[in-house]
Structure 1
Amino acid sequence: MPGQLKPAVSNQDHIQGAEEATIEIVEYGDYQCPHCGAAYPVIQKIQKKFLTQIKFVFRNFPLAESHRFALPAAVAAEAAGLQGKYWEMHDLIFENQKSLSHEGLFAMAKSAGLNIEQFKNDIQRPDLEEKVDADFESGIRSGVNGTPTFFVNGTRFDGGAEDLYDMLLESAED
């Protein structure tokens, strides 16, 4: 049986889409992972196509051993969230994945319209790294062992973003 999402989506998560959406997609992702970078436009395509039917959640799963800037990028997105700009930063990081660096993250923060002084302080807050760690731990408990890993309505989806898009299209036609 495929893995189950643990814990369920809550107000601790970053959620995009309609509260009453019938399809909940959770992605465990790493901001520096090339496969996650490739999945990003597909997720956007899914969101555009299915609009109010989709609720999308992104949980941090930084593979820090292989991706030097995965954890700093996750913390930067969480810091942006404190200024109400989580999704803007999330998008900018994936759209500028090739320029991930400390300087690059500050440039993205500026581009997202963040208060840079506050951002500089916030990225050093231990609770933000704890939030990233909690996401990572929930991924481990849910059976995640690589990125991106998707869960649809709480059940692990075995396939990539394009497979997910195809499956949703087929379901919509039934």
Structure 2
Amino acid sequence: MSNVILNDALGDRHQLVVPPFEQDHRQGSFNARVVLVEYGDYQCPQCGRLYTTIMAIQRQFEATLLGRDSLCFVFRHFPQPQIHLQAQKAAAATEAASAQGRFWQMHEMLLKYPQALGDGDLAEYADKLGLDVTQFLRDIARKVYVDRINRDIASGMDSGVVSTPALFINGVRYVDALEFEPLLVAIAKASYG
């Protein structure tokens, strides 16, 4: 576990309560030296910037001796519909895309265009990704994935998450800067013990 500096306001709620498991959306192996868990919202501009940073860190790990299997990235939904009106629907869109094997592609698309999350936009993204658009839209309209999204939200709340993005490195809340360098250093430190 990393000795990441924790915010005193988090009190005892600085640990990831629900550890990563098979139903999580992940890139990498759970056996990696570092498991990075993000709770995110697709309309949150910081989440989009953070995803770009995490992809750069993944590339950095792949290019070093640490290798690809040393970092696992897990994404969990934490839509905040009280401030981001389309966030819940966007989370459902990624789940509908996941049912067709395209979670990460939709994830990246939505983070790239956080202000274009209307029904027409989502249908256009689904079409670009080669999804069955009718099924995709039907799944969203029928709220097929509400329980899955709510499970992520509940696990985040149990771990003290109140806003996005929220990160955990090897189960410990990370509260330092979300820029490339400090996050890379924290992940690298966690990978060594």
Unaligned runs of 5+ in 1: none
Q: Which of 151, 155, 164 is the equivalent residue of 1:138?
A: 155
Q: For the Cα contact (< 8 Å) 2:13–2:159, is it kept in 1?
A: no
TM-aligned CA distance change 1:171 to 1:129, over 3 Å = closer
Measured in 2, the distance between the counterparts of 1:85 and 1:26 equals 19
RMSD: 1.9
Deviates more, 1:116-125 or 1:140-149: 116-125
Alignment partner, residue 15 of structure 1? 26
Q: Percent identity?
A: 39
Q: Which of 42, 59, 81 is the equivalent residue of 1:31?
A: 42
| Count of equivalent residues | 174
Larger relative helix fraction? 1
Measured in 1, the distance between the counterparts of 2:30 and 2:156 equals 23
Measured in 1, the distance between the counterparts of 2:75 and 2:129 equals 18
Alignment partner, residue 4 of structure 2? none
Higher Cα Rg: structure 1 or 2?
A: 2
Alignment partner, residue 166 of structure 1? 185
Equivalent AA in structure 1 for residue 139 of structure 2: D
Cα distance, 1:173 vs structure 2: 8.8
TM-score after normalising by structure 1: 0.92
Q: For the Cα contact (< 8 Å) 1:39–1:160, is it kept in 2?
A: no
TM-aligned CA distance change 1:151 to 1:172, over 3 Å = closer
Cα distance, 1:140 vs structure 2: 0.3
Unaligned runs of 5+ in 2: 1-11, 62-67
Alignment partner, residue 81 of structure 1? 98
Measured in 2, the distance between the counterparts of 1:78 and 1:155 equals 26
1:41 paired to 2:52:
yes
TM-score after normalising by structure 2: 0.83
